[in-house]
Amino acid sequence: MKTRSKSVWLTFIVLAVGLALLPILVQAGLGRSWVRVMDLALLYIMLAVGLNIVVGYAGLLDLGYIAFYAVGAYCYALLASPQFGLHLPFWALLPIGAAAAGLFGVLLGAPTLRLRGDYLAIVTLGFGEIIRIFLNNLNAPVNITNGPQGVNLIDPIRIAGFSFGKTHHLFGLTLSSPQLYYYLFLALTLVTIFIALRLQDSRIGRAWAAIREDELAAQATGINVRNIKLLAFAMGATFGGVAGGLFAGFQGFISPESFNLMESVMILCMIVLGGMGNIPGVVLGAILLTVLPEALRYVGDWQRAWIGHVVIDPTDLRMLLFGMALILMMLFRPAGLLPSNRHKREYHNES
């Protein structure tokens, strides 16, 4: 028993040191752009963990999740950019974005409580598209979102005078902006994962599992299905809103382009690929689906090396491969790479 807890601690320490050194090694080895990819991967992990609350825990299929990310991002962007001349501090921006996204989560959840499965998927998809169309068009007659051009010159994240947008010298190290963002995002991602893990085993988490498995039975055992579902939507959306705010500050520029349906699908696929309902699986899925498309960039170089010129632009290949991966994954490993025990059982029983 004692040796086991020792090995757990050892793993933990190795993991912590590894995560701390990762951006330094990556920047030295692969360049700064890969640190940015890692930052985005962390944001996607947050999103995937958030969506996993809605889809994986509560079984509510949400295809419009990116809308909450958009709400968080636009809240941050509009309140911290020359768009309205407002420059609110970070500690005001993030809660506002999170709260607004949470509110939208309830707004979406409340009318759709009766729907399940495909119907819910389609309605949430429609909701996401509505948000995007509004973001795209709310530039006239009153300019709110700046329309398709998006919001520019968003303030970088600044906490207590410490700006993440600049290079800093700390502890004898020179840390670039993407590296600093990495540590910030990592910290917040770990908080997100911690909350999600604690939720899973809590009363609420078990109530979610109950309504996912059998709504009627859950109701019969005294679970307030309506509130519990709304809570799932609200919590998932809040996570999305936080990630959105971070994205806006990190990127410095946002436009409706970043919040289209494919992004929602992508996040859903991270969950499904990794293993729905299982946090380590979700994290793995998010990392794989963020990093692999980036690796496709090298396909262009290979083509140049082997054929002499680029026949197919790798960015054009990206979605094609993604779509094929979805199909193959569902055909051959529908429960994901790291399935949770419950989902594993489900797939074995039915097939």
Q: Which two tokens stand for residue 22?
A: 């990762």
- Angle at alpha carbon of residue 300, lines to 299 and 303, rounded to 5°: 85
Q: DSSP string of 45-59?
A: HHHHHHHHIIIIIT-
Does residue 135 touch another protein according to CB under 8 A?
A: no
Cα separation, 53 vs 235, in Å, equals 7
Q: Among residues 32, 99, 129, 183, which is the contact residue for another protein, using CB under 8 A?
A: 129
**Helix or strand or coil: residue 152?**
coil
Does residue 233 touch another protein according to CB under 8 A?
A: no
Does residue 146 touch another protein according to CB under 8 A?
A: no
Does residue 268 touch another protein according to CB under 8 A?
A: yes
- Considering only residues 60 to 79 of the shown chain, the ones binding another protein according to CB under 8 A are 61
DSSP letter assigned to residue 157 = P
Query: Which CB sits closer to another protein, 28 or 216?
Result: 216
How far apart are CB 289 and another protein at their closest, in Å?
13
Q: Among residues 91, 119, 194, 302, which is the contact residue for another protein, using CB under 8 A?
A: 119
Cα separation, 265 vs 216, in Å, equals 29
Q: Is residue 206 within 8 Å of 58, Cβ to Cβ?
A: no
Does residue 322 touch another protein according to CB under 8 A?
A: yes
How far apart are CB 286 and another protein at their closest, in Å?
16
Which region among 137-145, 179-187, 201-209, 300-308 touches another protein (by CB under 8 A)? 137-145
DSSP letter assigned to residue 170 = E
Does residue 121 touch another protein according to CB under 8 A?
A: yes
Q: Where do we find the tokens 């996912």?
A: 212
Helical (H) or strand (E) element with 228:
helix 225-251
Does residue 143 touch another protein according to CB under 8 A?
A: no
Q: Where do we find the tokens 């590296």?
A: 179
DSSP letter assigned to residue 41 = H
Does residue 307 touch another protein according to CB under 8 A?
A: no
Which region among 7-15, 77-85, 127-135, 251-259 touches another protein (by CB under 8 A)? 127-135
Does residue 316 touch another protein according to CB under 8 A?
A: yes
Does residue 262 touch another protein according to CB under 8 A?
A: yes
Query: Which CB sits closer to another protein, 114 or 169?
Result: 114
Cα separation, 174 vs 177, in Å, equals 10
Which region among 45-53, 200-208, 278-286, 315-323 touches another protein (by CB under 8 A)? 315-323
Cα separation, 68 vs 124, in Å, equals 11
Cα separation, 184 vs 35, in Å, equals 13
Strands (E), 78-237: 80-81, 86-87, 158-159, 162-163, 168-170, 173-175
Does residue 294 touch another protein according to CB under 8 A?
A: no
Q: Among residues 87, 324, 345, 348, which is the contact residue for another protein, using CB under 8 A?
A: 324
Residues forming contacts to another protein in the complex (CB under 8 A) are 61, 111-112, 114-123, 125-127, 129-130, 133-134, 137, 140-142, 261-262, 265, 268-269, 272, 276, 312, 316-317, 319-320, 322-327, 329-331, 334, 346-347, 350-351
